[in-house]
Amino acid sequence: SQKIEQNSEALNIQEGKTATLTCNYTNYSPAYLQWYRQDPGRGPVFLLLIRENEKEKRKERLKVTFDTTLKQSLFHITASQPADSATYLCALGGYQKVTFGTGTKLQVIP
Amino acid sequence: EPEVTQTPSHQVTQMGQEVILRCVPISNHLYFYWYRQILGQKVEFLVSFYNNEISEKSEIFDDQFSVERPDGSNFTLKIRSTKLEDSAMYFCASSEARGQGHGYTFGSGTRLTVV
């Protein structure tokens, strides 16, 4: 069955460092992959989309990579700030829907 | 910044009662979705909707669930006879296009509590 795995343990990093979050998937060939941010009690907020034929995408302090051979995406936040503390969700894109992973909680420590 | 609006923000209902969750998607979006999130769990797909019909639904979306776009702006999710396990946060989302295009814009959710 399809599986999307994100590190369930919280990631704690020092302010100013680069946070790297991982999304691995199996039994899936997504046409694209998305990353969202979710704050407690709120809906997911779209951050970035990367297509299967793209290796890397950047937006301001965010960078996403997509390796369809390894079936993995990495999400980087450079120069992290306490305001970046949230849960980050990867979502694999199908034609009619996206399917979410469990999310990784990021805590940026001042 | 355009928003997806959901009402009510919190709904408490007795088991067996019908509930209707309401959503106003972004006006120029064509694709609409309902997702739910049980406390502490992942965001789960329920249904996608396009051109006034269901495009895809999950196994969660059984005969107790229905969706409707009664006019040009609202998009509703109805649960006919609620169960305790329906307690969750329900999110509506919309997108400009499907497939390889676009991120989804989610609403702030309706917290449904079934007692």
Structure tokens at B66: 């229905």
Mean pLDDT of chain B: 94
Q: Distance from A61 to chain B by nearest Cα, in Å?
A: 18
Is there a contact between B103 and A49 if contact means CB atoms under 8 Å apart?
yes
Nearest to B42 among A31, A51, A103 (CB): A103
Q: Is A10 on the interface with B (CB under 8 A)?
A: no
Give the pLDDT of residue A2. 81
DSSP-derived 3-state class of residue A36: strand
With bands split at pLDDT 50, 70 and 90, how would you rate the model's confidence at B101?
low
Q: Which residue in this structure is represented by tokens 């909680």? A: A105
Of residues B102 and B29, the one with the higher pLDDT is B29
For B36, nearest residue in chain A (alpha carbons): A43
What are A86-103's pLDDT values in tens digits? 999 999 987 788 999 999
Give the pLDDT of residue B42. 95
Q: Distance from A79 to chain B by nearest Cα, in Å?
A: 24
| Residues of chain B found within 8 Å of residue A42, distances taken between Cβ atoms | 108-109
CA distance linking residue A77 with residue B25, whole number of Å? 30
DSSP letters, B30-65, are -EEEEEEE-TTS-EEEEEEEETTEEEEE-TT--TTE
CA distance linking residue B59 with residue A96, whole number of Å? 15
- The answer to whether residue A36 scores a pLDDT higher than 90 is yes
- The answer to whether residue B5 scores a pLDDT higher than 70 is yes
- The answer to whether residue A8 scores a pLDDT higher than 80 is no
With bands split at pLDDT 50, 70 and 90, how would you rate the model's confidence at B19?
very high
Could you give phi then psi for residue A99, rounded to 5 degrees?
-115, 130
Closest CA to A14 of A76, A82, A61, A60: A82
What are A49-66's pLDDT values in tens digits? 999 899 999 999 999 999
Structure tokens at A100: 């979410």
| Residues of chain B found within 8 Å of residue A32, distances taken between Cβ atoms | 100
C-beta neighbour count of B15 within 10 angstroms: 13
Which residue type occupies A15?
E
Q: Is the backbone peptide bond immediately before B8 cis, with ω within 30 degrees of 0?
A: yes
Mean pLDDT of B17-36: 95
Q: Across chain A, where does the E strand assignment appear?
A: 3-6, 11-14, 19-26, 32-38, 45-51, 56-59, 62-67, 72-77, 86-93, 98-100, 104-109
- The answer to whether residue B12 scores a pLDDT higher than 70 is yes
Give the pLDDT of residue B98. 66
What are B44-96's pLDDT values in tens digits? 999 999 999 999 999 999 999 999 998 878 999 999 999 999 999 999 999 98
Q: Which residue in this structure is represented by tokens 């997911």? A: A44
- The answer to whether residue B99 scores a pLDDT higher than 60 is no
CA distance linking residue B37 with residue B54, whole number of Å? 20
